Amino acid sequence: MKRTFSVLMIFFALACTVFFTGCQDVIFAKIMGEVALEDATISGRINSIVRYTMSGTEYVFIQNGRVYCKPASSQSHGDWVEKSDGLPKLEYSYYDKKFNGIYIYRLAATENTLYALGTSIRENDDGENTTGSRYLYYFSGSSWTQCDGEVTGTSGTTTIFCTNTIDATKRTAYIRMNGTVSELKNNPSSTSFIQGAASSALGDAPGASTVSAVYTASGVYFFNSCSATNETSSPVTHVYWASDSTLKYVAAGTPASSGTNAVSCSANITSIAATSDAILLGTNGRGLQKTTNASGVPGSSLSSFSTNADAALDAPYMIPAMLCIDSAAPETGAMLYATADFKRKSSSSGGNYKDVGLWSYYPSRGNWNRE
């Protein structure tokens, strides 16, 4: 149990560079929400919620050390299936006193290929578990293949991310390694998976701090924070990104340097999802918050939820990732996913380990609940 706890701590630190404080009685909040919580089918630290098409069907993929997927149209949390064939499972050998296998901590997708980034776990001289070598894998519909060599790098933390567009033909994936952002190939092989260096003048310059990208008809925006668009079956009209606790936005095609400040949250923004009438904001320790969406323009103040979102996912939870399946739908008519975690070192954090994992809102259910 102690070793498992330590591994969970590693990946919380891997994905978060800013720790948060504060707590409240979340159990009481859930009672006030008057929603019975279901048992989770997808739990653990989840950093990526990614769209990927297999055999003509759109799927949602997530990672929590392993990889799982379900049809994007599904409104049932019982439809998840594991897609980890070819990925070495992380296990601890008490006989050898070491970890074997790989922990998958990021996903990214192109039109034809899904990528997974994983790390080995090793024990340092002080007996503490730390991340080791990083490895990149790709999936083209059946099983995973490892890209040749390590992608550990010598500076910074290697990560992958993608545009995650509704339009599969506009999906591009990127890897950041050694302070450089490169596009990943749409049709890779184990020996050839880098398309070339990424470049764009629309957002932040791709580099050592880049963590997200969004597609518009004018080009790709890169950001040093979380970002999203209001893409539907129609082209993107607005781009959103976080500047610490403030949501910023521009009209698609306008450089981010001309961005406008919108609402400010009570903690740094860690994820964004747009619906037709609201923009949901995941925060670093204050759960889900939201503002209005008026034809793509976000509000200047926070709005109240008509659902149980703020009761189910409030402090002390951070929301590493969110996804709206169809941004043309209003908030209460949209299928939404969010991931939850909390700072584990504090015994008084108020967090519940049963809540760590994937959450969803389905119109057919009418509330947020564990996925």
pLDDT digits (tens, 9 = 90+) for 194-218: 999 999 999 999 999 999 999 999 9
Average pLDDT over residues 319-330: 98
pLDDT, position 254:
99
| Residue 67: partners with Cβ closer than 8 Å, 6 or more residues away | 61, 82, 83, 84, 87, 104, 107, 116, 139, 144
For residue range 230-250, what is the model confidence (pLDDT) as tens digits?
A: 999 999 999 999 999 999 999
Give the model's pLDDT for residue 3. Answer: 53
pLDDT band at 33 (very low <50, low <70, confident <90, very high): low
Least confident of 101-115, 224-238, 341-355: 341-355
pLDDT in tens, 135-174: 999 998 889 999 999 999 888 899 999 999 999 999 999 9
Beta bridge partners of 338: 322, 359
Q: What is the pLDDT of residue 93?
A: 87
Please say if the pLDDT value at position 27 is more than 90.
Answer: no
pTM for this one? 0.90
Q: DSSP letter string over 88-141? A: PBPEEETTTTEEESBEEEEEEE-SS-EEEEEEEEEE-TTS-EEEEEEEEEEESS
Query: What is the average pLDDT score of the chain?
Result: 91
Residue type, 244: D
Least-confidence region, from 142-156, 179-193, 325-339 = 142-156
pLDDT (tens digit, 9 = 90+) per residue, 38-72? 999 999 999 999 999 999 999 999 999 999 999 99
What pLDDT does residue 118 have? 98
Please report the pLDDT score of residue 98 as a whole number: 87
Please report the pLDDT score of residue 34 as a whole number.
65
DSSP 222: E
Task: Note the pLDDT tens digit of each residue in 78-87.
Answer: 999 999 999 9
- What residue spans define the domains of the chain? 2-370
Q: Which residue has the higher pLDDT, 291 or 17?
A: 291
Kindly indicate the confidence band of residue 22, based on its pLDDT and cuts at 50, 70 and 90. very low
Q: What pLDDT was estimated at residue 5?
A: 43
The Cα 290–Cα 304 span in angstroms is 7
CATH class of 2-370: mainly beta
* Dihedral (CA of 311, 344, 2, 41) sign: positive
Residue range 325-353: average pLDDT? 89
pLDDT band at 128 (very low <50, low <70, confident <90, very high): confident
